[in-house]
Amino acid sequence: MQTKKSPQKEEIAWALDYLPYGKSDDSRPIYQRKPLIQAIGESQFVLMELIPKDDMVTVIPERLYIGDGEREKIDHVKGRLRYAELSNSANLELLPTIEEIILNDVPRFIKIFNDAYPISTRLHMLELFPGIGKKLMWNILDERKKGPFKDFADLMGRVKGLHKPEGIIARRIVDEIMDDEIKHRMFTTLPKQAPPSKSPQSKYRR
């Protein structure tokens, strides 16, 4: 599970919202405020604030390099965000952007269905996904015995009742982002600098 791994530094972030005058609760005069980008990491789905270079404007969503090499648009990473700090626009972009990240790297995410294992005698990892209950779980496992799933199209073609895997995975990732106290993490890590705090229940849960 993701909780056993050490956090990796994000190299790529996807812009969720561009704030030309920073956060709305910034009390400084407008001329003193700097543009701000709210974004999500491509590797571990870390929410973060980015400071763009001067005169750089981003589109939404946009894939941005934030690694240690030469950055085209980003000056620096300001810090990590919590879900409650996202702007309304960033919140609306969150789920579809995660789906796009997933579809851009299907081999990475199809492995979840090929490698998922029992967490306990009563719970299988596949059951952590919204919309996957016992019946669908067994259908996936029975088909997996015949051979690994090649991609999402193969998965949907072989498992009756399973639709839009990228949406299923994305909703699970949103659950993990929203709830600091979620028990089993497959995709995200908690910020080191802050203790867990109770977050609002995800509207995407089944």
Tens of pLDDT, residue by residue over 140-163, are 999 999 999 999 999 999 999 999
Domain, as residue range, for 7? 2-89
> Considering its fold, how many domains does the chain have in total?
1
The CATH number linked to 25 is 2.40.50.140
Is 193 a domain residue? Answer: no
pTM for the full predicted model: 0.86
Is 102 a domain residue? Answer: no
With 0-12 / 13-18 / 19 or more C-beta atoms within 10 angstroms meaning exposed / middle / buried, residue 30 is exposed
For residue 13, which of 43, 34, 55, 35 has the smallest C-alpha distance? Answer: 43
pLDDT at residue number 97: 98
For residue 166, which of 98, 94, 91 has the smallest C-alpha distance? Answer: 98
Is 157 a domain residue? Answer: no
Is 131 a domain residue? Answer: no
Cβ contacts of residue 163 below 8 Å, gap of 6+?
A: 156
pLDDT at residue number 193: 52
pLDDT at residue number 127: 97
pLDDT at residue number 109: 98
Is 42 a domain residue? Answer: yes
pLDDT at residue number 7: 55
Is 10 a domain residue? Answer: yes
pLDDT at residue number 32: 76
Give the residue ranges of the chain where pLDDT is below 70.
Answer: 1-7, 191-206
